[in-house]
Amino acid sequence: MPGTTASRIPAATAHTHTRHHASVLAAAERRVLVWLAIRLPPRVTSDGLTYLGAAGMVGAGCALAAASHSRAWLALVPAFLAINWFGDSLDGTLARVRNAQRPRYGYYLDHVVDLANTLVLFAGLAVSGIASPLVAAGALVAYLLLAAESFLATHALGVFRISFAGFGPTELRILLSIGAIAAIEHPIVTPFGLGRIWLWDVGGLCGIVGMMSVFAMNAARNARALATADPLPGGRS
C-alpha cells in the first residue's frame, strides 16, 4: 500500500552486523542448537519458535507473580525458562540451517520480543513477594540500559555482543532457575551477618552492579573506538 512504513524501507539495505557470543556455554549450546534445528519438522518455523520463547517468558513472569500467593509456583520458573531457551535460542539457528534468514526482520522481531519479555519477567518479580519492587525496577532499568547500549553498538560498530565476561542469556536463565528453586524454602538470607534480606534482593543488587559496570565499560570502550575510527576533519581533537 503506498505511503506505508514498509513501502519506505529500502529493499537493498543490508544488515551486516557480526554476532559475538563467547559465553561459557556458547560452544556446547551452538552444537546442541544445530542438532535440534536439523531435526525439527518443516511445519516448525523461526517465527513460531520466537513466539514460543515469548510464551515461556510470560509463563515465568506469571509464575513469579503467583509466588505472592504460594512459593510453590516458583517450581515452574525453570520449566518456563527452558521453554523460553528452546524458542528464543533456536529461532535464529533454524533460519540459518534452512538458509531462510531475514536479517533485518529477524533482528528487529527478536529484540522487540525480548524487551517485552524482560518487562513481563521483572514485573512478575516486582509483585512476587520474594524481592522488593525497587530492586526489581532497578534491575529492569539496568538491563534496558545494557540492551540499549548493545543495540547502539551494533548499529555504529557492526558487532552485536550477546555475552559479557563469559556470561550470556543461557547462563542468566540457569541462574534465575537456581534462584527460584532456592527461594521456595529459603526466600530470606543473612549475608555476612548484615541482617535478614530477600535472597532475590541480594541477587538483584549484584545483577544491577554487574550490568551497570558492563554498561560503563562498553560505553567507554566503544566511544574510544568510534572516536578513533571517526576523527574530526583536519585532525582536530
What's the grid cell of residue 150? 548493545
Query: Which residue in 163, 169, 215, 214 sits closest to 21, CA to CA?
Result: 163
Percentages helix, strand, coil for the chain, rounded to the nearest 5?
Answer: 70, 5, 25
Residue 9's pLDDT is: 52
Domains and CATH numbers, the chain: 22-232 (1.20.120.1760)
Q: Are strands 197-198 and 188-189 parallel, antiparallel or unpaired?
A: antiparallel
SS3 of 124-146: the string is HHHCCCCCCHHHHHHHHHHHHHH
Which three cell numbers mark 59?
A: 509463563
Beta strand 159-161 with 18-20: parallel, antiparallel or unpaired?
parallel
Burial of 210 (0-12, 13-18, 19+ CB in 10 A): middle
d(CA 219, CA 129): 34
Residue 2 CB burial class (10 angstroms; 0-12, 13-18, ≥19): exposed
Q: What is the DSSP string of 137-171?
A: HHHHHHHHHHHHHHHHHHHHHSEEE--BTTB-HHH
182 versus 157: the higher-pLDDT residue is 182
- CA dihedral 126→129→132→133, nearest 10 degrees, is 20
Instruction: State the pLDDT at residue 13.
Output: 45
Residue-level pLDDT at 236: 59
Yes or no: say if 109 and 50 are a contact pair by the CB < 8 Å rule.
Answer: yes
User: Tell me, what amino acid is at 140?
Assistant: L
Q: What are the tens digits of pLDDT across the range 96-125?
A: 999 988 888 988 999 999 999 999 999 999
- When pLDDT is cut at 50, 70 and 90, the band that residue 167 belongs to is confident
HSE-CB of 180 using CA atoms within 13 angstroms? 30
Whether 176 contacts 33, CB under 8 Å: no
Which pLDDT score is estimated for 194?
A: 72
Please state, for a pLDDT cut of 90, what percent of the chain lies above it. 68
What is the Cα–Cα distance from 29 to 45, expressed in whole angstroms?
A: 20
User: Does 193 score more than 90 pLDDT?
Assistant: no
CB atoms within 10 A of CB 46: 25
The three cell numbers of residue 45 are 518455523
| Residue 122: all three cell numbers together | 521483572
Q: Name the helix (H) or strand (E) containing 213.
A: helix 199-229
